[in-house]
Amino acid sequence: DAPTLSTDVAIIGAGPTGLFAAFECGMLKLDCVLLDALDSIGGQCAALYPEKPIYDIPAHPAIEGGALIEALDRQIAPFAVPRLLGRRVEGLEGHRGAFTLRTDKGDVISARAVIIAAGAGAFGPNRPPLAGLEGFEATGAVQYYVRRRADFTGTRIVIAGGGDSAIDWALALKDEAEKIFLVHRRDRFRAAPESLRQLDEAVAAGRIEKIVPYQLHGLHGTNGTLHGVEVATLDGDTRVLEADRLLPFFGLSTDLGPIAQWDLDSIRSTIPVVPSSCETSLPGVFAIGDVATYPGKLKLILQGFSEAAMAAHAIHPIVRPDTALHFEYSTSKGVPG
């Protein structure tokens, strides 16, 4: 097939680490292209928590997920990196120096090296097994991510789950919503002590009502408009909570998807790499960010950033075998346009 695009480095995944890898490639004058299955850049930060502050990005005492992605986008703007969004990379063939990637939309990309920054893979929420769920998802009555708090003004919300996400969102929406029910199948919630303290305070103030131990049982409503959420105890006692929104927070399902079929080692949705270069078991293919693993790995954005720098430097001799790479600070060379 004629390639849609030929590039030095194909970066699979436009989450925070994929975006920063594009910056590092640009600084080393390597061409690259960003590919992502989602329609927009930003990975988990943009899709799952755009309005949540992150506190452990160096030099940012607090920065919201969405704002971090906007800043990364500005940082790579000088390099005008092509983006193929809404395209899942399904196939990878070839060898060090000459790879071919194929997407589900029929694109063929030829690249001399590959960086897999696929995070949790084709991640998606764990959905509750409720009859008629799709119809309520289609209208937004059931949602798994809060993109804009303002969409919930004056609504009655059932939030389901017992972990940090459920509690954080109950607290974040308590002043927006008319009523919040927090449903959990156990009496005890598992979250940061400060969140639990704030939860007790909000319950005492009547802003949040705990519905425990109950689990989701059914959805009441018509044509995608939700009127009530039925919950049940383990003994089968049911009750209906009057609500027009349901936010289930049962974690993310992670699945490497097609990447697991490629000719490289993987362990439980992660790809082992050589820590000094982030190269995988397939020479010329590198993995960074949440998807990469090695002893001591922390699944943190800051660690993904440093892996992006290591991978780009390790790729340089593959793409430019005749040009020695002299290590330089960004302060001395500036940002090449």
Question: Cβ 145 to ligand FAD, closest distance in Å?
Answer: 9
User: How far is 128 from 48, CA to CA, in rounded Å?
Assistant: 18
Nearer to ligand FAD, 19 or 219 (CB): 19
Q: Which helix (H) or strand (E) holds 137?
A: helix 133-139
With contact defined as beta carbons under 8 Å apart, do 238 and 229 qualify?
Answer: no
> Which segment (6-14, 199-207, 230-238, 279-287) binds ligand FAD by CB under 6 A?
6-14
Question: Cβ 139 to ligand FAD, closest distance in Å?
Answer: 24
User: How far is 93 from 110, CA to CA, in rounded Å?
Assistant: 10
With contact defined as beta carbons under 8 Å apart, do 209 and 179 qualify?
Answer: yes
Mark 93-122 with x for binding to ligand FAD (rule: CB under 6 A) and - for no binding.
------------------------xxxxxx
Residue 36 known to bind ligand? yes
**158 strand-pairing partners:** 181, 246
Q: Residue with CB nearest ligand FAD?
A: 119
CA-wise closest residue to 144 among 131, 160, 125, 128: 125
Residue 290 known to bind ligand? yes
Alpha-helix residue ranges (DSSP H) falling in 10-80:
16-27, 43-48, 65-76
Within residues 158-177, the interface with ligand FAD by CB under 6 A covers 165
Within residues 24-43, the interface with ligand FAD by CB under 6 A covers 35-38, 43
Residue 280 known to bind ligand? no
Alpha-helix residue ranges (DSSP H) falling in 153-232:
164-173, 193-204
Q: Is 71 an interacting residue with respect to ligand FAD (CB under 6 A)?
A: no
**239 strand-pairing partners:** 231
Instruction: Output helix, strand, coil percentages for the chain, rounded to the nearest 5.
Output: 30, 30, 40
Q: Is 300 an interacting residue with respect to ligand FAD (CB under 6 A)?
A: yes
CA-wise closest residue to 284 among 9, 16, 12, 3: 9
Mark 244-283 with x for binding to ligand FAD (rule: CB under 6 A) and - for no binding.
-------------xxx------------------------
Nearer to ligand FAD, 159 or 301 (CB): 301
> Which segment (46-54, 151-159, 210-218, 234-242) binds ligand FAD by CB under 6 A?
46-54
| Site residues for ligand FAD per CB under 6 A | 12-18, 35-38, 43-45, 48-49, 54, 56, 88-89, 117-122, 165, 257-259, 289-290, 299-302, 304
